[in-house]
């Protein structure tokens, strides 16, 4: 039992490092890109979008490869390789002196970031039916810790030196690598391994299968738009707060950590409250879209720091939408196709995590290059608000039509 608990702990730490590594650079990004590239804040934002998209693209492309490698050769070597790549990524970023090296570093980090499914697979290997949900819940908790710890740590260390968060993270990754090397056992029995198959490496395979669900195509399109809008926060938050309020890494990190805590509270506690289930999915989704659009509009026009912290509790309430929609769509699909459905939703989120940072940072540049009447640094937030408002009618109409057809579960495939 102690061995299993120790393994769960190391998996927890690995996922925390993975998510923290994604988030740790956000507070320091405006300053370090301007320093290295001698850029304006507008151009730094565009480069930030390129870096975020590079990470997300590599994660999207390599996730099926890493998953197949773990099925063929075991979970342990894949996790160890990912930790080594994470450390390498942070060192590359820490020593980077030109912008293209930052891109290489983020691409390396994206490859290592494709190991979260391997962490789930490891826990599935060592869990019983009784404690599997509990262990999977720990991975969800690790996401929450990473989303709070990453920006907070990046902000505090970034106040000392812009490069310090990278070296600190590299040290943590090396430490975790050696501890896992010494104490993390292999979880996948050799008899349960399967041959490495190249036909399973296509990252677009799940996305293409979305067309099999004829009655859910509108829902999938709405998922795409919602995800596109929500990526505005990580894409431009650092650059926007630097431009509008002249925040340093510390305040940027604190604000992002507050947002992460709010999301954890909403998705871990509020969504379980009785009034949420009493409202039903359509009303919860409508409320989330409207409140999300209101918060985004507020950020778009905010001109005082207190407004940001006042809007964060409003903004995080829109996070009721994703688990509600996930549950609603899952209930429309037969039990034999749940894995396929989750693969499609994961692919949609992955694609938008590549597209949205590029679009949002370009909009930020367009909104900040003119100091005159066209100076609107919050224009990406306003664009995201328009996206959410635009899908209210088609999304609710689609949900209503799906609820009216009791035989849909048998018809979807």
- pLDDT of the residue at 292: 96
**CATH number for the domain whose boundaries are 1-184:** 1.20.1250.20
Topology agreement, domain 1-184 and domain 206-406: yes
Look at the domain 206-406 and name its fold. Answer: Growth Hormone; Chain: A; (1.20.1250)
- pLDDT of the residue at 2: 43
**Alpha-carbon distance 228 to 230, whole Å?**
6
Which CA distances in Å does 198 have to 195, 201, 280? 10, 5, 43
Q: Taking the CB of residue 362, how many other CB atoms lie within 10 A of it?
A: 15
- pLDDT of the residue at 115: 65
Per-residue pLDDT of the chain (413 residues; tens, 9 = 90+): 445 677 788 788 877 877 787 788 889 999 999 999 899 999 999 999 999 999 889 888 887 777 777 777 888 888 888 888 888 889 999 999 899 999 999 998 888 876 677 777 777 777 776 666 677 767 767 777 888 888 999 999 999 998 999 998 888 888 888 888 888 888 777 777 777 666 656 777 766 766 666 667 888 899 999 999 999 999 999 999 999 999 999 999 999 999 988 888 887 778 777 777 788 888 989 999 999 999 999 999 999 999 999 999 999 999 888 888 877 887 777 666 666 676 677 778 889 999 999 999 999 999 998 776 678 999 999 999 999 999 999 999 888 887 766 555 445 44
- pLDDT of the residue at 405: 62
Contacts of 28 (CB under 8 A, 6+ apart): 154, 155, 158, 162, 165, 249
Q: Taking the CB of residue 339, how many other CB atoms lie within 10 A of it?
A: 10
All structural domains of the chain with their residue ranges: 1-184, 206-406
- pLDDT of the residue at 410: 44
- pLDDT of the residue at 413: 47
- pLDDT of the residue at 25: 83
Which CA distances in Å does 192 have to 188, 195, 375? 7, 10, 60
**Alpha-carbon distance 136 to 134, whole Å?**
6
């Amino acid at each position: 039992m102690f061995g299993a608990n120790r393994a769960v702990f190391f998996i927890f730490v690995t996922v925390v490092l993975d998510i923290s590594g994604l988030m740790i650079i956000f507070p320091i990004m405006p300053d370090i890109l301007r320093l290295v590239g001698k850029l304006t804040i507008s151009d730094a934002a565009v480069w930030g979008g390129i870096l975020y998209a590079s990470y997300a693209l590599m994660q999207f492309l390599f996730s099926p490869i890493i998953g197949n490698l773990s099925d063929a050769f075991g979970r342990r070597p894949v996790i160890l390789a990912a930790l080594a790549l994470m450390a390498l990524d942070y060192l590359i970023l820490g020593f980077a002196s030109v912008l293209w090296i930052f891109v290489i570093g983020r691409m390396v980090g994206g490859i290592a970031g494709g190991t979260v499914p391997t962490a789930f697979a490891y826990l599935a290997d060592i869990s019983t039916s009784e404690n599997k949900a509990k262990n999977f819940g720990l991975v969800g908790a690790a996401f929450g810790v990473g989303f709070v710890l990453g920006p907070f740590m990046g902000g505090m260390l970034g106040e000392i030196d812009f490069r310090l968060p990278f070296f600190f993270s590299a040290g943590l990754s090396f430490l975790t690598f050696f501890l896992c090397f010494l104490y993390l056992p292999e979880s996948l029995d050799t008899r349960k391994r399967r041959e490495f198959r190249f036909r399973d490496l296509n990252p677009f395979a799940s996305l293409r299968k979305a067309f099999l669900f004829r009655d859910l195509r509108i829902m999938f399109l709405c998922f795409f738009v919602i995800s596109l809008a929500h990526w505005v926060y990580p894409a431009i938050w650092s650059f926007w707060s630097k431009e509008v309020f002249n925040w340093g890494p510390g305040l940027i990190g604190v604000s992002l950590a507050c947002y992460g805590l709010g999301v954890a509270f909403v998705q871990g506690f509020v969504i379980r409250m009785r009034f949420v289930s009493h409202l039903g999915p359509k009303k919860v989704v409508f409320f989330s879209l409207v409140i999300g659009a209101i918060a985004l509009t507020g950020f778009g026009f905010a001109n005082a720091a207190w407004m940001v912290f006042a809007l964060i509790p409003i903004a995080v309430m829109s996070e009721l939408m994703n688990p509600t929609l996930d549950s609603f769509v899952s209930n429309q699909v037969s039990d034999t196709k749940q894995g396929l459905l989750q693969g499609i939703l994961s692919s949609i989120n992955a694609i938008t995590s590549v597209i949205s940072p590029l679009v949002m940072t370009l909009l930020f540049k367009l909104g900040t290059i003119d100091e005159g009447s066209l100076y609107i640094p919050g224009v990406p937030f306003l664009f995201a608000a328009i996206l959410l408002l635009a899908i209210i009618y088609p999304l609710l109409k689609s949900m209503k039509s799906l609820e009216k057809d009791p035989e849909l579960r048998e018809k979807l495939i």
